[in-house]
Amino acid sequence: SQQGEEDPQALSIQEGENATMNCSYKTSINNLQWYRQNSGRGLVHLILIRSNEREKHSGRLRVTLDTSKKSSSLLITASRAADTASYFCAFDFSGGYNKLIFGAGTRLAVHP
């Protein structure tokens, strides 16, 4: 199976704290993308990391990729209440015509 797993399933933190979400997969990938989804809404692209990259930053977001462990992490620093959402990793597997396989997601709640 090409499915990925995410942990934790849910994360509750206070504003100002950092939030770390993890994602693992089973077979080789072209790239890995992280998306945010506010409750019942669309998917907002956050960041894409290619299989030959180890780390990328975008504002308060930091993504790492460890292809030897087949895992990725998304770090949100200095979290805000507006960061409350579900976060999904999505894999573009080699030779997959760019279809994305999504993880189950992490529900992040940031409390003021």
Question: Which residue ranges make up the site for other proteins (CB under 8 A)?
Answer: 30-31, 33, 35, 40-45, 48, 50, 88, 90, 92, 96-105
Q: How far is the CB of 2 from other proteins (least distance, A)?
A: 10
Q: How far is the CB of 16 from other proteins (least distance, A)?
A: 29
Rounding to the nearest 10 degrees, give the CA dihedral for residues 12, 3, 94, 21.
Answer: 10
Q: Which is nearer to other proteins, 13 or 100 (by Cβ)?
A: 100
Q: How far is the CB of 106 from other proteins (least distance, A)?
A: 12
Q: Which is nearer to other proteins, 69 or 97 (by Cβ)?
A: 97
Contact 51, 28 (CB under 8 A): yes
Strand order in the sheet with 71-76: 5-7, 19-24, 71-76, 61-66, 55-58
Residue 45's Cβ-count burial label (10 Å; 0-12, 13-18, 19+) is exposed
Q: Which is nearer to other proteins, 40 or 112 (by Cβ)?
A: 40
